[in-house]
Structure 1
Amino acid sequence: MTRVIHTGDTHIGYRQYHSPERRADFLDAFERVVADAVTDSVDAVVHAGDLFHDRRPDLPDLLGVLSALRTLDDADIPFLAVVGNHESTRGGQWLDLFESMGLATRLDDEPTVIGDAAFYGLDHVPESRRAQLEYEFAPHDADVAALVSHGLFEPFAYADWDTEEVLRASTVDFDAVLLGDNHAPDTAQVSGAWVTYCGSTERASASERDPRGYNLVRLGADASDGTDAVDIRRRGLETRPFVFLDVELAPEEGIDRVRDRVRERDVEDAVVIVRITGEGEPIAPAAVEEFAAERGALIARVTDRREIETETELSVSFADPDEAVRDRIGDLGLSDAARDVDEVVRGELPDSNVRAEVKRRIEGRIDGDDEERVNNDGDGDAPVGADAAADTADAVSDGSGADGPTDSQLTLGDSQ
């Protein structure tokens, strides 16, 4: 029997809410997974993509990952991984660099055998290029086979990839499909194979209310008490607390009622998400956020979704003006290409680089090489259990300033 930790969507380097503490939380969560792997003496750690949040990780994030991978290497625990959409580059991948250092294995169409199981990899592939895939995998002689991939597969939420077709067209019969991209953990059986998402290790969005964690997967003839060769069990991770407060205001209720709800909860060092509905008085989000901060909250965000009648109808979260802009752009029904251009124009690239970046992205789409740079945004209300379901782009450039990348920021070209 082979025991592996199946994790993914660690999004290391994500400066959520523009907070350095939240950025550190994402690396901390990955380090906890590694510590569990060493403590439990698993046979391998399998990462299903989006190790980094961005294709240009900052130096502290890169060094943190290297340290964690060396911890696994010292314990003789292989790190097997595929490339997700957030970290994908046109040339070499960071995963290739880790592999060249002997700290990782980039899974592909050749089997990587660990104990009784053969592991294969399928990196994230944009939907526009999937028709070209042939799903040809080299044969193996292990007891079971598992495919590791990154994307939105059926029958789960936001799916755009036909799992039955992948299994049918594959030249290897897979017993398990270990997935990343959807931040909500889930498991189903498709065409005789167990298909599972491990979920993200940290909350990359305010919509991700469930606890974070990873999967412990056992593969082999004696993996379970029955005849099944695959056993999948969920394990939780201790991460920074999020306090979700849904406050419905009755007529004539206002800020005092919201403050009472904040007082009822332990918000020390927590991210506090307040959503206001009902018919009460208008609320100034900044006043609620300041009150939560006084009670020890790390971050507070307030969203008031009530209809406020003015000369023109407005629905604005003053805590994050960018959110209002994103909401308005979403209402326009723009194409993916137009959203991509908007992301670049409103991003943090220096003006001198905007034209070249827009040209590069449009040419990439024309060539069918759409890298689908899709990002979760922790301030929004979109159901971003999946990376590719969220069309927000605010967090892509958190690691770079108005003058471009900081001195501590590396590209893969720098490493080469």
Structure 2
Amino acid sequence: MKIIHFSDTHLGFNDLDVLNDDNINQREADFYDAFSQVVEQIKEIKPDYIIHTGDLFHRSHPSNRAITFALEQFKIIDSLDIPFILIAGNHSTPRTNLSSPILKIFENFKNVYLSYEQAYKKVAFSDVLFHTLPHMNDETKALSQIELCEANIDKSKKNIMMMHCSVGAFYLMQEFGEWVYPSDKEYIFKMMDYVALGHWHGFGKVGKHENVYYSGSIERTSLGDKRNSKGFVLLTLKETLSVEYKEIAIRPIVQKEIDCEEYESSVSKLDTSDVKDALVEIRLTNLTALQSIDIQNSAIKELFPDALHVSVKREFKQGTNESTARDVEALSLEEFFLEHIKEDSKEKEFERLKHKVQELFAEYEEAADDTL
């Protein structure tokens, strides 16, 4: 038995305000391309089952374009006559019962089996039983629903558990409705042939469990995600479990560094041969506040004309009271100025100047507001 497991496709995600030739946000188009690649792999591999563990869409009320794209792709998948089992994730689940779940739009597909009602649901076939636990806004309800998984195990069949939550880690992404699977219920995993997880965006096995896997996302929803490898899981269930990670092609993220102690020399040595159409992150290191004013963001971006997008992080010299990396767009002129005078002032004098600077900038902002 072969099963393709993918997740966190986040259709409709957009970012960076970059449009492609079709006047579509380029990052949004990247997610559609990644999904299409998985569908092409499904057509080639011809698995017995396909499972998706949540966050099909990036929002519970996606755009018309995202919905249209999904319907087109589901029509292709449905035509393959392969059962496709899909659960809701937190991004695709309405926050109130007043809204209709978006996944209902797929109910008329013959080979699509949906689980979105915030409760345990079993999806049974002659040789396998899928125990689905979609996202639940009320995590206090989760325990009773997990216990239903155990109660419905059928030892005459393969048993697959599907969830969208955090397993093996007691920290979250600070998103609405997230929940952590209780560790005292992990013994249920041993009763399953495979546990398919969604929510975390990196592929990998969870802890000591040999059959519990996150497939990861198929694209990155944040420039903080530095993974250049995205894809899906192909699992084979016979007497034993075999898990294979299948990579797809995504837009790369490339990191470069400019040492501001030797700025001109460091810039001249930059290798830009690998940045075409890439997401580029530049770290300016050993930076002083005065340099930070002089080195313009636009000048850095001009060094990479072939990149899709360039972001700049600034790491100030230790001792300038600014040792953490920041996105240059987040730094205001007021912060730059204060950092500069702080280097050359005694503490008491700096406090006096600080209040004066804040007053001047407040007056400037008030005057600017009056002209709008």
Q: Same fold (TM over 0.5)?
A: yes
- How big is each residue's C-alpha offset from its partner over 1:141-200, in whole Å with a ceiling of 9 and x where there is no partner? 653211111111115875962454334479x9322210011111110365x661100111
Matches within 5 A, 1:27-106: 27-89=32-94, 90=96, 91-102=99-110, 104-106=112-114
Return structure 1 stretches of 4+ with deviation > 6 angstroms.
Answer: 308-315
How far residue 26 of structure 1 moved from its aligned partner, in angstroms, is 0.5
Q: Which has the larger radius of gyration?
A: 2
SS in 1 for 2:33: helix
* Higher RCO structure (Cα 8 Å, ≥6 apart): 1
Match of 1:174 among 192, 198, 216: 192
Q: Structure 2 vs 1, CA of residues 313 and 219 (structure 1 numbering), >3 Å: closer, same or farther? A: closer
Q: How far apart are the structure 2 equivalents of 1:50 and 1:307? A: 41
Partner of 1:220: 238
- How big is each residue's C-alpha offset from its partner over 1:216-270, in whole Å with a ceiling of 9 and x where there is no partner? 112232xxxxxx3x2211111111122122x15162x226624642x34321111
Mapped pair 1:146 → 2:160: yes
Q: Structure 2 vs 1, CA of residues 321 and 10 (structure 1 numbering), >3 Å: closer, same or farther? A: farther
Count of residues paired in the alignment:
309
> 5+ unaligned residues in a row in structure 2: which ranges?
19-24, 174-178, 336-372
Identity of aligned residues (%): 25
Matches within 5 A, 1:7-406: 7-19=6-18, 20-89=25-94, 90=96, 91-102=99-110, 104-107=112-115, 109-114=120-125, 116-126=127-137, 128-130=139-141, 133-135=144-146, 136-137=148-149, 138-140=152-154, 142-154=156-168, 158=172, 161-162=180-181, 164-168=183-187, 173-188=191-206, 194-210=211-227, 211-221=229-239, 228=240, 230-245=241-256, 247=257, 249=259, 251=261, 253-254=262-263, 257-258=266-267, 260-261=269-270, 263-279=271-287, 281-282=291-292, 283-292=295-304, 294=305, 296-306=306-316, 317-319=327-329
Contact (CA 8 Å) 2:252, 2:278: kept in 1 or not? yes
Partner of 1:387: none
Q: How far apart are the structure 2 equivalents of 1:257 and 1:288? A: 12
RMSD: 3.3
Q: How far apart are the structure 2 equivalents of 1:153 and 1:313? A: 34
TM-score by length of 1: 0.66
- How big is each residue's C-alpha offset from its partner over 1:63-122, in whole Å with a ceiling of 9 and x where there is no partner? 111111111111112221111111111343222221234352114634323563211211
| 1:182 partner letter | W
Q: Structure 2 vs 1, CA of residues 79 and 143 (structure 1 numbering), >3 Å: closer, same or farther? A: same
| 1:289 partner letter | K
SS in 2 for 1:154: coil
| 2:212 partner letter | V
> 5+ unaligned residues in a row in structure 1: which ranges?
222-227, 326-416
Partner of 1:359: none
SS in 1 for 2:16: helix
